[in-house]
Amino acid sequence: MGSPLRPAGAPSACSRLGAALEELWISLFAWLPTPLGVALRLLAWRWLFAACGSVRFGTGLTLSACRNMRLGNGVRLGRGCFVTAGGGSLILGDNVAVSPCAHLGADGGRIEIGAHAAIGPGTVIRAANHRFERQDLPIMRQGHQPGEVLIEDDVWIGANCVITPNVRIGRGAVVGAGAVVTRNVAPFSIVGGVPAREIGRRA
């Protein structure tokens, strides 16, 4: 039960302070260019995560709730990516490549991406959706419905895709640019469109 001054589920003052300090620390190193910046970010940030291998952090990243993230060896996060896991879990396997300006939002849910997966620029992967059942309450005040996204090994997701909660993308699948994935994708299939549907198979 929440205190009279703080609704149930609201972050405590201590957790808000921790989030602010994490944001400040990340911002100190996020802008540094050149390979020196890449090296400094790894040294400065790796202790923030539950697990962090030899990750290449690009410039201009936004990271939140790093303690809920596990990043494997050879992971690459491109410039301007937005990666969050407040109240959730994010796992990136070895050699996952996330292109610039992608958004991985594991807040309130779970995202797991297998080894050697490639995520195209501008792609959005979310593990939770807004609730909207009630009409007497603004959607923004109805909270979120948690879910999970599982992307298996060796998947290629093209540019500007949207991956919605509660889908599994099978090993070796290809998601065409601009697709909106709302249901499971079979291994080694090629999907595209809105909503995404199978348009081919890898020979």
Report, as residue numbers or ranges, the catalytic residues: 130
Contacts of 83-91 with C-beta under 8 Å, sequence gap 24+, read 85/111, 86/19, 88/127, 88/128, 88/146
Q: Give the CA angle between residues 138, 143, 145 to the nearest 5°.
A: 125
Q: Which residue has the tokens 């602010």?
A: 20
- Report how far apart the first and last C-alpha atoms of the chain are (Å, whole number): 56
Q: Give the CA angle between residues 120, 126, 132 to the nearest 5°.
A: 140
